[in-house]
Amino acid sequence: MSKGDFIKKPDRRFKLLVLTQGLWVMTLVILALWWGTLLKQQSDEIAKLQTQLGVPESQVQSRLDRNERMIEGESGTFIILILVTNGILLFFYARDTRRSRSLEAFFASLTHELRTPLTSIRLQAEALRDIEDNPKHTPYLIRLLEDVGRLEGQVQQTLELARIEGGGELTAQSIRIKTFIQNRIVPQYTLNDSRLVFDLSLEECFVQADPSALIMIFRNLIDNAIKYSSDSPTRISFRGRPTDSAYHLDVIHENSKFLADERSLGRLFYRGSNSQGAGVGLYLIQSLVEKMKGKAKFSPDNHRFSAHLELLRTPEEVNHGL
Amino acid sequence: MASRILLVEDEINLGSTLQDRLGHEGFAPRWVKSAIEAQSVLSKESFLLALLDVNLPDGSGFDVARVIRADHPKTAIVFLTAAGSPEDRIHGLELGAEDYIVKPFHYKELLLRIQNVLKRAQFVDEGRSDGAWIKIGRAQVSFQEYQLLLDGGKHSLSHKECALLKLLNEKRGQVVSRDEILNLVWSEDEYPTPRTIDNFILRLRKWIEPDAESPTFIRSIRGVGYLLEKEPS
């Protein structure tokens, strides 16, 4: 199995900040020392000139001593202020980073803990649906399953957001994209819901991607299509073609009610004009695709929402002529 | 006879629901709630499939998987877990799991994936003659024992090595395409590349060929797949 990391180590940002801060402090301290030394030299020169001009030596010496004390005191205070200020800044940054990481860890652990009871609720609701023969109960069971599905989606998004924001890594694997969508994505919806129709006009190709990230990306897009669909069944088209190094995939939802400013789509917490969500889904899609060294673009045009994903192709495929 | 399934799940509601539903599907599930209980059951009974939760109160499903790999190589392993990070998934598959299912999942999806795993396990199992050792190249192979005899030493074969070798052996003298290999030997969650198959073939050649650098038994057929030559009569 080919695998590799897509992204940087989680604490690299903090290390880079400490290094930059350290260099900045060192530059300021060296400059302060340099200006202090220069001022002392100037003071000595002035004292020499004053002596040559006939000012009494005791008076010159007394002024020189006073000037040197002042220069030393002010330079020292300046250096101490630089060090203290930077120390305080680093302390607050480290504290905030720690708090933010604790929060991320809390959300990650909470959502992780929610997954098992959610599975249990889903399986029991599915069992009831499968054995229930009173048609009066069916709508309630369908609604229960829909709500469980929505809750699962939210939990999954929160967990992924915490993971991505915490610098979580993705693992690159070679995936046959058409087979993946046919076998792993479409059945998740068509096995339980007949109100969705998929059109797969895809060319088969190996892409470098993380399978969990791909599932999250497609689930978000399909869930959005269901949420903003203005007709039933909801029709979603997958169109894909490879180029030399990339695979271009369009996920298109016709008859979408979603209204948004195209330039703001993909920004964290941007919810569009009529959004029912938290503004996390498209941001996650963009972040995940970028972490897989690809690109994502969204176009909400005239009752049609399309997501254009550019994914990396697996080089091995070319060698094997598959 | 119903397929025996070991279910290791510490969450009571989930465990009992799965036990009921799998039972109704015609499987024979044996539900235990901890790693120790699982190890105790495994010391007395054998199963066709093990469904393992990863986070258990007294250990990890990965530890149970290691016991299964060592003592019950024929038991297929599927992880059912809330830990869906790429690292966990890779770790699970490296331990020889056939599949890695992240919670929450749909029951029908679970069922499909169990059936796929059992179909692959059945492929390795079917048509074998009990205890038979088959000569392939310079090695003797037992598909029943998942073992290979070479120079007086025994080597354990993984499920995939065994399935790949069996597929080639069944079609001796014929070309087996890469697609056929991918469909029969790998699970949907593993996303193998053509290079993955090559790596497995390289490993098999080291055991089977007198000179792995110049293979005479497992031949590559460019652009198509592989061919296992017939034994000279």
Helical axes B107-125 vs B178-185, angle rounded to 10°: 110
* Beta carbon pairs, A and B, within 8 Å: 110
Half-sphere exposure of A294 (CA within 13 A, CB side): 30
| Least confident residue range of A159-163, A189-193, B87-91 | A189-193
Q: What pLDDT digit, counting tens, does each position of B9-42 carry?
A: 999 999 999 999 999 999 999 999 999 999 999 9
**The two three-digit tokens of residue A49, written as one number:** 């000139």
| Least confident residue range of A48-52, A154-158, A195-199 | A154-158
Q: Give residue A167's pLDDT.
A: 72
**Torsion angle, alpha carbons of A24, A26, A27, A29, to 10:** 120
Q: Is the pLDDT of residue A7 over 60?
A: no
Radius of gyration (C-alpha) of chain A in whole angstroms: 31
Reported as a pLDDT band with limits 50, 70 and 90, residue A4 is: very low
Which residues on chain B are in Cβ contact (under 8 Å) with A192? 106, 108
Q: Which of A119, A187, A210 sits opposite B14 (nearest CB)?
A: A119
CB-based contact B112 A115, cutoff 8 Å: no
Q: Which of B21, B85, B178 sits opposite A123 (nearest CB)?
A: B21
Minimal Cα–Cα distance from B55 to chain A, Å? Answer: 11
CB-based contact A187 B107, cutoff 8 Å: no
DSSP A276: -
Q: Is the pLDDT of residue A202 over 70?
A: yes
From the candidates B20, B106, B115, which should be mutated to test the interface with A, based on the most A CB atoms within 10 A?
Answer: B106
Percentage of residues in chain A with pLDDT exceeding 70? Answer: 90
Q: What are phi and psi of B201, to 5 degrees?
A: -65, -40
**Range 166-185 of A in CB contact (< 8 A) with B:** 168-171, 173-176, 179-180, 183-184
Q: Give residue A196's pLDDT.
A: 85
CB-based contact A124 B109, cutoff 8 Å: no
Task: Kindly provide the ipTM of the predicted complex, given to two decimals.
Answer: 0.70
Q: Give residue B233's pLDDT.
A: 61
Question: In the predicted model, what is the mean pLDDT of residues A137-146?
Answer: 86
Whole-angstrom distance, CA of residue A286 vs CA of residue A295: 7
Question: In the predicted model, what is the mean pLDDT of residues A133-147?
Answer: 85
Query: Closest-CA residue in chain B for A120?
Result: B14
**The two three-digit tokens of residue B70, written as one number:** 């060592």
CB-based contact A168 B85, cutoff 8 Å: yes
| Least confident residue range of A14-18, A107-111, A300-304 | A107-111
Question: In the predicted model, what is the mean pLDDT of residues A100-127?
Answer: 84
CA distances from B182 to B78, B160, B164, B225 (A): 19, 11, 9, 11
Q: Is the pLDDT of residue A248 over 90?
A: yes
Ranges in chain B, pLDDT < 70: 1, 86, 125-131, 187-195, 232-233
Which residues on chain A are in Cβ contact (under 8 Å) with B116? none
Q: Which residues in A162-193 are b (16+ Cβ under 10 Å) and which e? A: bbbbebbbbbbbbbbbbebbbebbbebbeebe
Whole-angstrom distance, CA of residue A54 vs CA of residue A282: 80
A309 vs A223, residue with greater confidence:
A309
Computed over every residue of chain A, the mean pLDDT equals 83
Q: Please, which residues bridge with residue B59 across strands?
A: B56
Q: Give residue B191's pLDDT.
A: 63
Q: Give residue B129's pLDDT.
A: 53
CB-based contact B195 A2, cutoff 8 Å: yes
**Range 104-143 of A in CB contact (< 8 A) with B:** 112-113, 115-120, 122-124, 126-127
CA distances from A287 to A164, A300, B82, B199 (A): 8, 19, 22, 33
Q: What pLDDT digit, counting tens, does each position of A298-309 carry?
A: 988 878 889 999
Other C-beta atoms within 10 Å of A249: how many?
Answer: 26
